Structure 1
Amino acid sequence: MQFGFSSYSFYQHLRAGRMTLLDVIDWIAESDATHMEIATVSLSPEISNDTSTLDADPGFVQEIKKRAADRGVTLSNLVVPADLLGENAERDMARLKRHLDVAAELGITLFRHDVSKWAHRAKDVAEFEQLLPRMVEASKEVAQYGAQYGITTSVENHGLLMNGSERVRRLIHLVDEPNFKTTLDVGNFMSVDENPVVAVQQNAPYASIVHLKDFYVRSQLPGDGWHHTPGGSYLLGSIVGYGDLDMRGIVRGILDAGYDGFISIEFEGIEECLMGCTVGLANAKRLFDEAEAAR
């Protein structure tokens, strides 16, 4: 297992200008982690609007490549949002392909994309079924483009349309490309009120990379900043191991599936992010060690 971080975990400092992406690479190199995935949204001033120009800045791409190589940090995954169902689907598809070119230049072999906006919610299962063929066609096109570089593409359980574990598996089977899998986010299932332990058990066999995160979960609104799920729960990001998710059950599900790849900590809590990352990494490694010892 290789433990590392999503650049999204450092968004507090990246947005405020206290760190650059190159600083993040340096910080990871000096930690107990070995890899970093690049989330393009972490290079944007607004978390809900990805305005990263990584695909149009070859000089910066070369800086990232050199710094990671010099510091011994593996670049594991490139995470790019997209809406392949909206009016700008053609534009977003072209942008994804340009970022696949960037991933190849950086030596990254994993690539995660969305198929719709986060807030896109089908009114009912019939609407989802109507949209599914378009999602399959678009995901197949991305996977086939990535295949020329030996890149495995993936959809994450992310957003209200494609967050459910069964929907993700259906998409994978219908796309039917050997290099198309899922970025398995262990916490995001909660956004559609799905039991994350069960969902991880079901989807871990299809994972290309795992996002490890934790949430505080409440049944009543504690205050501003909490995410309200369709089923009435309230979520707030926490340090891995400090929240209310059954992390031990989640870790067992990952190991039972035989997964032995990148574990990417995605911290999105309100605590100071460097502290959150440091403690979260230590907790994650301890949880996996304990689970391995108990097998």
Structure 2
Amino acid sequence: MQFGFSSYSFYQHLRTNRMSLFEVIDWIGASDATHMEIATVSLSPEISNDTSTLDQDPGFVQEIKTRAADQGVTLSNLVVPADLLGADAEKSMQRVKRHIEVAAALDIKLFRHDVAKWAHRAKDIAEFEALLPRMVEACKEIAQYAAPYGITTSVENHGLLMNGGERVRRLIHLVDEPNFKTTLDVGNFMSVDDNPVVSVAENARYASIVHLKDFYVRSQYPGEGWHHTPGGTYLLGSIVGYGDLDMRRIVRGIVDAGYDGFVSIEFEGIEECLMANPIGLANAKRLFAEAEAAK
């Protein structure tokens, strides 16, 4: 298992220019982590609007590659938003393909894209099934585009349309490309009220990379800043191991599935990130060590 961070874990400081991406790489290089995945949204001032221009700045891309190599940090995954179902689906598709070329330039072998905007929600399963052929076609096209670069593409359980574990597995099987998998986020299942222990265990065998995150969970409105699920649960990001998710059983499901790849801490809580991230990393390593010892 290789433990590291998503650049998104440093979003508090990246969006305010308190840290640059190069300083994040330096921080990770000096930590006990071995890799970093680049989330393009972390290079944007707004979470909901990815305005990054990584695909238009080859000089910046080369500087990232050089800095990571100098710091001994493996670049593990490139995470790019996409809306392949909206009015600008073709424009979004071309942006995804340009970022696959960015991943290749960075020697990154894993690539995650969305299929729809986060808030896109099918009214019922019939609407999801009606959209599914378009999702399959788009994901297949991207996977086939990435294959000559030796890149594995993936869809994350992310957003209200594709957050359910069963929907992700259905998409993977229908796309039916050897280099198409899932970015497995252990916490995101909660956003559509899926049981994360069950969904992680069922989806771990299809994972190209794992996002480890934790949530505080409440049944009644606690105050501003909490995410409200369709089922009426309230979520707030926490330090890994400090929240209410059954992280031991979740990690055990990953280990029992035989997964042995990159694990990224994806911190999105309100605690100070430079305090939260090393605690989360230490907790993650301990939890996986316990799970491995119990096998």
TM-score bucket (shorter structure): over 0.9
For 1:121, the equivalent position in structure 2 comes to 121
For 1:162, the equivalent position in structure 2 comes to 162
In 1, Cα distance between equivalents of 2:93 and 2:293: 44
Amino acid of the residue matched to residue 99 of structure 1? Answer: H
For 1:8, the equivalent position in structure 2 comes to 8
For 2:255, the equivalent position in structure 1 comes to 255
Q: Does 1:35 align with 2:35?
A: yes
For 2:293, the equivalent position in structure 1 comes to 293
Identity between Structure 1 and Structure 2 (%): 84
Superposed displacement of residue 290, structure 1: 1.2
In 2, Cα distance between equivalents of 1:228 and 1:19: 30
For 1:70, the equivalent position in structure 2 comes to 70
For 1:86, the equivalent position in structure 2 comes to 86
Following TM superposition, the consecutive aligned residue runs of length 4 or more in structure 1 with deviations greater than 6 angstroms are none
Superposed displacement of residue 98, structure 1: 0.3
In 2, Cα distance between equivalents of 1:251 and 1:54: 33
- State the secondary structure of the residue aligned to 1:263: strand
In the alignment of these two chains, the number of paired residues is: 295
Query: 1:47-196 maps to which residues of 2 (within 5 A)?
Result: 47-196=47-196
In 2, Cα distance between equivalents of 1:270 and 1:282: 19
- State the secondary structure of the residue aligned to 1:65: helix
Superposed displacement of residue 294, structure 1: 1.6
- State the secondary structure of the residue aligned to 1:200: helix
Q: Deviations over 1:258-290 (max 9, x none)?
A: 000000000000000011101000000011111
In 2, Cα distance between equivalents of 1:148 and 1:56: 22
In 2, Cα distance between equivalents of 1:72 and 1:31: 11
Amino acid of the residue matched to residue 85 of structure 2? Answer: L
Q: Deviations over 1:115-140 (max 9, x none)?
A: 00000000111100100000000000
In 2, Cα distance between equivalents of 1:255 and 1:291: 7
In 2, Cα distance between equivalents of 1:205 and 1:294: 19
Q: How high is the TM-score relative to the length of structure 2?
A: 1.00
Amino acid of the residue matched to residue 89 of structure 2? Answer: A
- State the secondary structure of the residue aligned to 1:38: strand
Q: Deviations over 1:210-251 (max 9, x none)?
A: 000000000001000000000000000000000000000000
Q: How high is the TM-score relative to the length of structure 1?
A: 1.00
Amino acid of the residue matched to residue 138 of structure 1? Answer: A
Superposed displacement of residue 95, structure 1: 0.2
For 2:229, the equivalent position in structure 1 comes to 229
Q: Deviations over 1:86-116 (max 9, x none)?
A: 0000000000000000000000000000000
CA RMSD of aligned residues (A): 0.4
- State the secondary structure of the residue aligned to 1:269: coil
For 1:272, the equivalent position in structure 2 comes to 272
- State the secondary structure of the residue aligned to 2:155: strand
- State the secondary structure of the residue aligned to 1:16: coil
Amino acid of the residue matched to residue 129 of structure 2? Answer: E
- State the secondary structure of the residue aligned to 2:264: strand
Superposed displacement of residue 293, structure 1: 1.4
Q: Deviations over 1:154-205 (max 9, x none)?
A: 0000000000000000000000000000000000000000100000000000
In 1, Cα distance between equivalents of 2:157 and 2:292: 26
In 2, Cα distance between equivalents of 1:251 and 1:124: 31
Unaligned runs of 5+ in 2: none
Unaligned runs of 5+ in 1: none
In 1, Cα distance between equivalents of 2:54 and 2:88: 19
Superposed displacement of residue 292, structure 1: 1.2
Q: Does 1:200 align with 2:203?
A: no
Superposed displacement of residue 291, structure 1: 1.2
In 2, Cα distance between equivalents of 1:116 and 1:278: 32
For 2:210, the equivalent position in structure 1 comes to 210
For 1:24, the equivalent position in structure 2 comes to 24
